[in-house]
Chain A
């Protein structure tokens, strides 16, 4: 497989603040990668660095084999949709869609038309009169219709309702299937997107704490629930990620269970509850927060 993005030892400081801390990642070409993490974890900074909108303090970034900084050859193949994109005051959506093809050589006007319809976006209304959700849908439409070989969505759907988000996921999947490209999706709505992802990057406090295929993440943890004594006997010697006790009952989250483990647990009268990607992310990032507190 070829890498669309290769980042080595990347660090970005803002004064004393370490926003990105010695990050090394490889994003495979034509995959959908989820960039997950809490607010302020460094997701946006990392994407700004990858798209040449910030200068690295140290480290190397290669996008399609070249440095993205001030590099028109790379940047015309990149579309970065930001959470709160600003447009000129007197613009209407139609002006955005008339301008976008100048920046994106692969722009598909027909797809844009269709998406404008799907999102029921008023083309002639002035930008400042649009709702938050309508503003977000402009970004989503540009991101999809640009068909850029590298497309990054940074929390693209502030204000989009559940129906509009589903439209986004469906159109993204459909268009991606027909025109494969490298997509990075940064979001808090992990449960909604977890099935769309092929790879997962989790960033916490500027560092990458998970870099896995979505299939490996899935099933990498399970919660075992039942009477406390049986649960304790079963999890003895295993790494415990999380534990809840209520009365004589326990629910303990442990790393992946094999087929035989599952049968043994069921035979012992224990219930195995799946742990979703979202729960796993919460567990992983909160465990780290605890470690940091105790070490401080």
Chain B
């Protein structure tokens, strides 16, 4: 856990990452609050808050008496939300650093080309 942001946000993000990567499939059971607390060595109330955030956002849903499950369509929903943050959180800092180093627009384009992104 890094110190700069609330832990419950980081827990929510970590679960989202697992859904994005396919480690957690849609309609499969998500880890329980106590499992998350034990794994990351955090307070169970904090873990519950992270899970609660995802329930609120419709990413996870509760099956009574069984536990939390990954909602259908959550993968796409997460990706859509992350795309909106991509510009501010990744592209801006990249351009700031590139300007500092004197890397031109064409050079950046060339690098991206070499990485072979679609």
Residue numbers of A with Cβ under 8 A of B are 31-32, 169-170, 173-174, 176-178, 195-198, 214-215, 218-219, 222, 263, 266-267, 269, 272-277
Which residues of chain B from 13 to 71 have a CB within 8 Å of any chain A CB?
33-34, 37-38, 40-46, 49
Residues of chain A within 8 A (CB-CB) of B42 are 173, 195-196
Instruction: State whether B92 touches A222 (Cβ < 8 A).
Output: no
Instruction: State whether A195 touches B41 (Cβ < 8 A).
Output: yes
Instruction: Pick 6 A–B contacts, CB within 8 A, sort by A.
Output: A195-B40, A196-B41, A222-B4, A274-B2, A274-B4, A277-B3
**A272 and B93 alpha carbons, distance in the complex (Å):** 12
Instruction: State whether B92 touches A170 (Cβ < 8 A).
Output: no
Do A269 and B6 contact each other (CB < 8 Å), given the known contacts A169-B41, A173-B37, A195-B43?
no
Do A263 and B88 contact each other (CB < 8 Å), given the known contacts A196-B43, A269-B96?
yes
Which residues of chain B from 78 to 115 have a CB within 8 Å of any chain A CB?
88, 92-93, 96, 100
Not counting A173-B41, A198-B43, A274-B2, a sample of 15 additional A-B residue pairs whose C-beta atoms are within 8 angstroms of each other reads A173-B38, A173-B42, A173-B43, A173-B44, A174-B34, A176-B44, A195-B7, A195-B42, A215-B7, A215-B46, A218-B6, A263-B92, A266-B92, A267-B96, A274-B5
**A219 and B3 alpha carbons, distance in the complex (Å):** 7
Instruction: State whether B6 touches A31 (Cβ < 8 A).
Output: no
**A31 and B49 alpha carbons, distance in the complex (Å):** 14
Instruction: State whether B4 touches A215 (Cβ < 8 A).
Output: no
- Closest residue of chain A to B93 (Cβ to Cβ) is A266
Which of A31, A269, A275: most chain B Cβ within 10 A?
A269
Residues of chain A within 8 A (CB-CB) of B6 are 215, 218-219
**A33 and B44 alpha carbons, distance in the complex (Å):** 13
Instruction: State whether A275 touches B3 (Cβ < 8 A).
Output: yes
B8 CB to nearest A CB, Å: 7
**A276 and B93 alpha carbons, distance in the complex (Å):** 24
Closest 8 CB pairs of A and B: A274-B4, A274-B3, A177-B34, A195-B42, A177-B44, A276-B3, A198-B43, A215-B6
**A272 and B92 alpha carbons, distance in the complex (Å):** 15
**A169 and B43 alpha carbons, distance in the complex (Å):** 10
Residues of chain A within 8 A (CB-CB) of B41 are 169-170, 173, 195-196
B116 CB to nearest A CB, Å: 28
- Closest residue of chain B to A196 (Cβ to Cβ) is B43
Partner of A177, one of B3, B8, B37: B37
Q: B1 interface residue, CB < 8 Å from A?
A: yes
